Amino acid sequence: MSDILQPGQNVPLFSAPNQNGETVSLSHFEGKWLVIYFYPKDDTPGCTTEAKDFSAKVDDFSKLGASIIGVSTDSQKSHCKFIDKHNLTITLLSDPEHQVADAFGVWRLKKFMGYQQ
């Protein structure tokens, strides 16, 4: 587990499969704006709201030259179901070994009622 990325730091290089099994790498976005967000689980209330909100604003981001990518440890199959169920228009990356999340320093043990799980 690394430290959380701080403002001004370079984004770590990454590659991971999207919902369609295509490899997506940071290099695909060279010279462009990229919004990367990490979330715990497909089809949970908060994560669904976040993905639907990003999907609703995808055209606004696109007009600014920005792409949106969501990253979770869910499988490509899970991502496809999530996208279909909620008509999402964003790219979701599958990171089951949390390599991308580790590179960004966002993989942490979950705390519940003060206890780590």
Summarised one tens digit per residue, pLDDT across range 7-46 is: 888 889 999 999 999 999 999 999 899 999 999 999 999 9
Q: Say which CATH superfamily domain 16-116 falls into.
A: Glutaredoxin (3.40.30.10)
pLDDT class for 115, splitting at 50, 70, 90? low
Q: Which residues are part of the catalytic machinery?
A: 47
Question: What gap in Å lies between CA 47 and CA 70, rounded to an integer?
Answer: 10
CA angle (15 as vertex; 22, 96 as ends), nearest 5: 85
pLDDT tens string 79-95: 999 999 999 999 999 99
> So where are the chain's domains?
16-116
Token readout for 59 is 């055209």
